[in-house]
A and B are shown apart, each in its own frame.
Chain A
């Protein structure tokens, strides 16, 4: 057992857990943060993506103990109150989802992409998002949304 402290969506948290616990299940089961989804458990689909110190990671294959002292942001923490993050707003505008199950991971994956590559081409986006799976086939809309979010963020809007 180990006690770890971190911030979750800005709030300080402390949990005492077994050493081999996975971040996805600590977030979902211990902390009630259900935005990150279970899709594959093997880092293959991206549904469980969260930000650790502003980097996207796959929570299903991340040891929870590794986040000690770090800052975790899940999809629940991306908007500033009622003010959607530009990526979220663009997903709404372009309907970048159908069932929505992949969406939290897609948005945080896009966040990570735009942090590294603020002005990606459509080909860049497709390449960078290729390890995020969407079974509903919302891909075209997701690329549209990320393109628009990039433009909005580059313009310093919102």
Chain B
């Protein structure tokens, strides 16, 4: 037997202590595991330590009844983590999928997890969970060998029963083995993993576990959790970023029946059991405001970014740019722009907090329950173990629920009010406090030799950051320079919050790069697919391009061909992706109709093929928004888009025919699927518009007005 497990302690890392854990899991086997002993780095602040050290933990519990519970600190926001983790566990443990349960996003029950983002759930945590299950199986087989008095090598596991390979009457079930026993293990070496070829559950489509709850209305989101006596809070807000509420006269609100006014530090809130009555009370509050000094808007922002962004650094380079210029027969320079984009999940940020016996429980729609727990503890001055964050179903996140300000507000108001308080942001608060995908400016100077080879690539991105900026083509002389990223808002570069948005930064970068590649192909007079293949050495990239072309039924023709075909490719979250689209452009109105898209992905082992397809379709559909209409309008610190009336997100009538295909690579580790396909959308549509009309659009979104300007330019030239 291996030495006892070291379960991460309550050292502020968000993990529970062992006694607490044992009391929760009761009798039965549980395996705690880490990828490797947790390194300690005393020179780092505690917050960094917990980030660096603990994101690989997860737990399994096997009950006396044979049921397996997987505890994973990820959350379910539609991406299917709830379905794919049990697949991995069931396959490694050799138990039926139906006997595996899963607990997600509960900081008292699950091991520390940094958060659900970056398409990392299966990519990073998947191998850890698989390894845990593999170890559990090895332990159980060893126990069975003792019990049956047979050598372990003579045993096999079928449906949670360990039995002799030659005499099936010699058998003992996992449930029998674990009854009354508790074994703790620590993964030291790599456990014996099942080869993919013998897996029967992974790689096959599994029905979504959340289906019945979601179609019957039983699925609970944070706003659906109502502790006894809970009150809704509406918080007095400034009208603009940079504006300050100096005084709030709440007398009229307070006089309304059932209304309470609560002040907690800088928060002034009106509370009522009924949301619409709290809304009414908020409208009765009279605020005195000092206006914002910010003078930026969605048009002036680009010059501001160019001027004020940090000098940045070169993240990749090779050869000599001067050599490239010398060798180039044609040089093409272009600037690409993209505005701010909102996350706009249908569920606004929601949370409810309840204080019970000195412990604060917060149900929150969040992508980061563990960091949120730490932030709440700090905000309300409680020890971290006195705070528990529970994450019910999350109604869409896309990176926007990484912050959790609403949960901190609920916690603070609960402490101040002495009753459970619910904070469910109004849609205009959601737009106002969103951490937008940042506006970006991208400048590219590229050169072609006489044979259609790219010999120069000088790339500078301002605002969007590094993700997706690497160019990936075989270019001898190149430089990629990054000024400012998508995280944080250093030096007040942006007038409001910015943050991760589905494939952060990559949507801007891939739009610019793949538009520019298209521009070069047209200059060279070469079909854009051929041009890419000619300038690529990356086999997996060529593979997805060819797979997308085959699915689409693509035939080569140099642009603009009038057919309205566009191509774009890239890598994201470890996955290779290529899309080909067909569009129609209404030259009278500038309206773009995307008719169909074929998208190919090489994401290594595909754990749940239909789940992965759902994510691809979701990416392509959501991506229509930032491509065609979505850009946040703002002025003087105020966000002018406050609801779906002016901020248009994709609708049924916009959605093209979608064909998705995987380049089969089951022996490669599984990669991210929640983001990659969205990165191609801007360029694939812009390139198709060029192919249809000859108009090269260089600013996202491709609004009707911009299409009309592009068409007018073609007519002039």
Residues on A facing B (Cβ under 8 Å): 18, 20-22, 24-26, 28-30, 32, 34-35, 37-42, 44-45, 47, 74-76, 78-79, 84, 88, 91-92, 95, 97-104, 107, 125-127, 129-143
Contacts and interface: CB of A to CB of B under 8 A. Distances in A.
B395 interface: yes
B211 A95 contact: yes
Given A39-B427, A42-B427, A137 B652 contact: no
Given A21-B276, A99-B394, A76 B216 contact: yes
Contacts of B593: none
A28 to B, nearest CB: 7
Contacts of A44: 643-645
B627 to A, nearest CB: 13
B345 A135 contact: yes
Interface hub of B216, B219, B273 (most chain A Cβ within 10 A):
B216
A101 B346 contact: yes
Interface residues on B, range: 35 or more
B629 to A, nearest CB: 13
A139 B273 contact: no
B347 A28 contact: no
Contacts of B207: 92
Nearest to A87: B215
Contacts of B346: 37, 39, 45, 47, 99, 101-102, 133-136
A54 to B, nearest CB: 18
B633 interface: no
Contacts of A142: 652
Interface in B172-229: 207-208, 210-221, 223-224, 226
B216 A40 contact: no
Contacts of A22: 276
A19 to B, nearest CB: 12
A130 B652 contact: yes
B285 to A, nearest CB: 18
Given A25-B276, A37-B221, A98 B618 contact: yes
A100 B216 contact: no
Interface hub of B215, B276, B394, B650 (most chain A Cβ within 10 A):
B215
Interface hub of A30, A103, A138 (most chain B Cβ within 10 A):
A103
Interface string B640-659: 00011100011111010010
Interface string B223-240: 110100000100000000
Identify the 4 closest CB pairs spanning chains A and B, nearest first. Answer: A35-B217, A137-B621, A98-B78, A101-B395
Contact of B614 (A101, A103, A141): A141
Given A22-B276, A41-B427, 16 more contacts: A29-B273, A29-B275, A39-B346, A44-B644, A88-B215, A99-B346, A100-B219, A107-B215, A125-B652, A132-B652, A133-B644, A133-B651, A135-B344, A137-B621, A138-B618, A139-B621
A137 B619 contact: yes
B274 A101 contact: no
Nearest to B623: A137
Contact of A42 (B220, B274, B643): B643
A100 B210 contact: yes
A100 B218 CA distance: 11
A76 B345 CA distance: 23
B215 A101 contact: no
B644 to A, nearest CB: 4
Contacts of A102: 346
B368 interface: no
Contacts of B552: none
B620 interface: yes
22 contacts: A18-B277, A37-B223, A38-B348, A39-B348, A40-B644, A41-B643, A95-B211, A100-B78, A100-B213, A100-B219, A100-B395, A101-B345, A107-B215, A126-B652, A131-B651, A134-B346, A136-B78, A137-B622, A137-B650, A139-B655, A140-B617, A140-B655
A137 B620 contact: yes
Interface hub of B219, B344, B345 (most chain A Cβ within 10 A):
B219
A27 B224 CA distance: 12
B459 interface: no
Contacts of A39: 346-348, 427
Interface in B588-617: 610, 614, 617
Nearest to B219: A100
Nearest to A106: B215
A75 B217 contact: yes
B396 interface: yes
B426 interface: yes
Contacts of B213: 100
Nearest to A105: B346
Given A100-B395, A141-B614, A84 B275 contact: no
Contacts of A24: 276
Contacts of B655: 126, 139-140, 143
A91 B215 contact: yes
Contact of B398 (A38, A97, A135, A140): A135
Contacts of A38: 223, 275, 348, 424
Contacts of A130: 651-653
Interface in B73-116: 77-80
B302 interface: no
B280 A32 contact: no
B393 interface: yes
A136 B208 contact: no
Contacts of B394: 99
A138 B223 CA distance: 22
B611 to A, nearest CB: 8
